[in-house]
């Protein structure tokens, strides 16, 4: 084998080795740093890249995707001396692969420790109640502080979330009791208020009822009085009319009215199916007897006008006083 043979074979091998060393395919989501003689020179972005073999070599392969790290559990003493156990998560993303590679060593540990100490300082300045209720505010403050601190490392903390805040068991139990007492108090107050309201309503109802009743009575009394007035008026008018009629006409008309009413009343008594024996008080019969007497007196008094009165009575088919009812008993004085 001649020297040229060997040279040709070695040349091919050299080219192949050089190509293999010089062609770098960086996957998406990563950036590779290149060190020339150990010193950073450039960053390879995803895709096909060429480096100069022999001088350059790949330094760090940095993950450029957003990553999450667990912030381990730690105990934090709040401003009011309650010891709570806290853990969380932090999301970060590398934006500058060179800085993330060379400005900090052990990136994730640095972020973790930084976040833990800041959790302590932020939550240590708050009361337990605040810590439990202001989680958003804690996250926000943590994010600002930690993000500012990691910025020289070419990365950004996008989010820090406190996962769990666990107060000691006895404190949790006390908080539970406090809450329960509060609810019971509210329930009691509500019940008392309900009772008060219902009693007020009931009393008001009763008051209203009484008022209405009194008003009803008042109204009724008014109307009764009015009715009495009206009936008195009517009576007076009727009496007036009767007396007018008598003064104008025959006294026999009066007798007619009385007799008519008497007969009607007596007829009613006689009609009664279970009352065949009729008892009449003495006074009644004597009144009836007196009627005829009154007629005689009237005749004598109004002597000359009696004829005209009788004529008027005939026109009106009114019987004269002499026609006394047949049921009048004979006993009269």
Partner 1 sequence: MTDMFVSLGTWNWLIFGFILMALEVLAPGIFLFWLGLAALLVGLISFTVVISWQIQLVMFAVFAAAAVPVWRRLARPNLDASTSPFLNKRTEALLGREFTLEKPIVDGNGTMRIGDTVWRVAGPDTPAGTRVKVVQVDGVNLTVATA
The pattern of x and - marking residues 210 through 249 that bind partner 1 according to CB under 8 A reads: ----------------------------------------
Binds partner 1 by CB under 8 A, chosen from 57, 99, 120, 134: 99
- The dihedral built from the CA positions of residue 220, 222, 223 and 229, taken in this order, carries a sign that is positive
Binds partner 1 by CB under 8 A, chosen from 42, 112, 151, 305: 151
DSSP string, 87-130: EEEEEEEES-HHHHHHT-SSHHHHHHHHHHHHHHHHHHTS-HHH
In 10 A of CB 23, how many CB atoms?
Answer: 12
Q: Which is nearer to partner 1, 23 or 227 (CB)?
A: 23
Closest contact distance (angstroms) between CB of 56 and partner 1 is 14
Residues 6+ apart with CB under 8 A from 112: 69, 71, 72, 90
Distance of CA 175 to the CA centre of its chain: 29
Nearest to 123 by CA among 151, 90, 81: 81
Closest contact distance (angstroms) between CB of 100 and partner 1 is 9
Q: What is the gyration radius of the CA atoms in the chain, in angstroms?
A: 64
Closest contact distance (angstroms) between CB of 24 and partner 1 is 9
Tokens of 54: 């022999």
Distance separating alpha carbons of residues 34 and 233, to the nearest angstrom: 130
Distance separating alpha carbons of residues 28 and 49, to the nearest angstrom: 13
Binds partner 1 by CB under 8 A, chosen from 93, 285, 305, 320: 93
Cβ proximity of 332 and 285 under 8 Å: yes
61 touching partner 1, by CB under 8 A = no
The pattern of x and - marking residues 109 through 148 that bind partner 1 according to CB under 8 A reads: ----------------------------------xx--xx
Question: How many residues bind partner 1, per CB under 8 A?
Answer: 39
Which residues, 15 to 44, sit near partner 1 by CB under 8 A? 15-16, 18-20, 22-23, 25, 28-29
Residues forming the site for partner 1 (CB under 8 A): 2, 4-5, 7-9, 11-12, 14-16, 18-20, 22-23, 25, 28-29, 46-48, 50, 64-65, 93, 95-96, 99, 143-144, 147-148, 151, 154-156, 158-159
């Amino acid at each position: 084998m001649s020297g040229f043979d060997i040279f040709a074979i070695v040349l091919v091998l050299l080219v192949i080795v050089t190509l293999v060393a010089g062609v770098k395919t960086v996957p998406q989501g990563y950036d590779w740093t290149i060190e020339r003689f150990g010193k950073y020179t450039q960053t390879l972005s995803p895709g096909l890249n060429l480096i100069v073999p022999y001088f350059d070599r790949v330094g760090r392969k940095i993950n450029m995707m957003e990553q999450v790290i667990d912030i381990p559990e730690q105990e934090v003493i709040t401003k009011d001396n309650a010891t709570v156990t806290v853990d969380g998560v932090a999301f970060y993303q590398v934006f500058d692969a060179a800085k993330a590679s060379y400005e900090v060593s052990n990136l994730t540990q640095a972020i973790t420790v930084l976040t833990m100490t800041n959790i302590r300082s932020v939550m240590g300045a708050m009361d337990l109640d605040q810590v439990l209720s202001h989680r958003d505010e804690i996250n926000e403050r943590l994010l600002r502080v930690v993000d500012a601190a990691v910025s020289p490392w070419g990365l950004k903390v996008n989010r820090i979330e406190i996962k769990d805040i666990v107060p000691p068991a006895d404190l949790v139990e006390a908080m539970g009791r406090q809450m329960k007492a509060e609810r019971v108090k509210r329930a009691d107050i509500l019940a008392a208020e309900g009772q008060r309201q219902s009693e007020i309503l009931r009393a008001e109802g009763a008051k209203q009822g009484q008022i209405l009743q009194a008003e009803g009575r008042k109204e009724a009394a008014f109307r009764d009085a009015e009715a009495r007035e009206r009936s008195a008026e009517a009576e007076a008018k009727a009496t007036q009319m009767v007396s007018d009629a008598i003064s104008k006409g025959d006294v026999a008309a009066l007798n007619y009215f009385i007799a008519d009413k008497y007969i009607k009343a007596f007829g009613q008594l006689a009609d009664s199916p279970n009352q065949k024996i009729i008892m009449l008080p003495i006074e009644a019969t004597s009144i009836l007897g007196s009627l005829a007497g009154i007629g005689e007196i009237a005749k004598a008094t109004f002597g000359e006008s009696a004829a005209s009165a009788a004529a008027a009575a005939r026109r009106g088919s009114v019987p004269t006083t002499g026609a006394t009812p047949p049921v009048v008993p004979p006993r009269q004085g």
